[in-house]
Amino acid sequence: MIFDKAIKAAPDRFHVIELSEYTTWEIGGPSAAVMVNTARELTDTVKFISENSLPWVILGKGSNTLAPTEGWHGVVVLLRGELSDFSFKGSLLTAGGGAHLPSISGAACSKGLAGLVFAVGIPGTVGGAIFMNAGAYGRSISELVEEVSVLHPCGSIEYLTAEDCGFGYRSSRFQKDDSIVLNVVLRLSEKAGSSGELRREARGVLQLRRQKFPLHAPNAGSVFRRPDNGPPPGKLIEDCGLKGYRLGGAMVSAVHANFIENTGGATSSDVMQLIEFVVERVRKISGITLKREIRKLGERI
């Protein structure tokens, strides 16, 4: 099978998962996987994987990822334990790379700490948010970064400032190297007595997301990046008459055209063919070439 090499290399270390259960598109076949709970475990795991020349990838909540229906030949590394914990010290929030982004946003609101309300509905991890420089409603997580600690495959740990991270629109230096986000320190704003106000604001953000986005169906969030000095991808796609367009089990959402829904039984091939069709149609009609925000598992773009 596609993951045989990894399982044979360490049957006591790796187990088999179905990627459809670990991605928000609910698409994907079998893969070898390992759960790690500490930085030491992660270091040992990455060293072992590298020594055995196995492809690998860190997978958070799988909210920006298209996994292959036939399965993946590498090792999926899942951050758990202390690598998914978070804590507060004054206005500083320290979170592991595997921490759930909506959870830390909600906790910050409850403590009266402002700055993360925009992230309350983003279904990903802190590490994934740093990797993509996730954002919404005109805000990005890079604005809050005080420090990011990363693990390099060689085993060394490096501490980076926000400037060191090379943040851009939905981009960071981590998209171009193999370093792993271990911990992130975010600087929030203390607002005494404002926890109720922040929670109300967070509820408003969630309500707005429910109205604007197709949260009723499996999807991976925004499929395309906003073009430089161009209209939003959703408008470009809608103007091409593609809302509701289907290919196999994949459909351009009728709610928001920059989302592709799994209407039931969609394959990774269905999704990629639909993406390619949308890109070509938009290019032909508007002259603008859309670029993907979502990534195929293990891909660098």
Catalytic site residues? Answer: 170, 222, 293
Helix (H) or strand (E) holding 261: strand 260-262
Tell me phi and psi for residue 180, to 5 degrees.
Answer: -115, 130
Beta bridge partner(s), residue 192: none
DSSP string, 45-86: HHHHHHHTT--EEE-SS-TTEE--TT--SSEEEEE-GGGG-E
Three-state SS for 170? coil
- The two tokens of residue 236 are 């470009």
Q: Which residue has the tokens 């351009």?
A: 252
Q: Which residue has the tokens 């993946």?
A: 72
Contact 93, 113 (CB under 8 A): yes
CA distance linking residue 125 with residue 65, whole number of Å: 13
**C-alpha neighbours within 13 Å on the C-beta side of residue 178:** 15
Longest dimension (CA), the chain: 57
Closest CA to 141 of 160, 125, 157: 125
Beta bridge partner(s), residue 149: 159, 183
- Cβ neighbours, 10 Å, residue 195: 16
- The two tokens of residue 146 are 């005080």
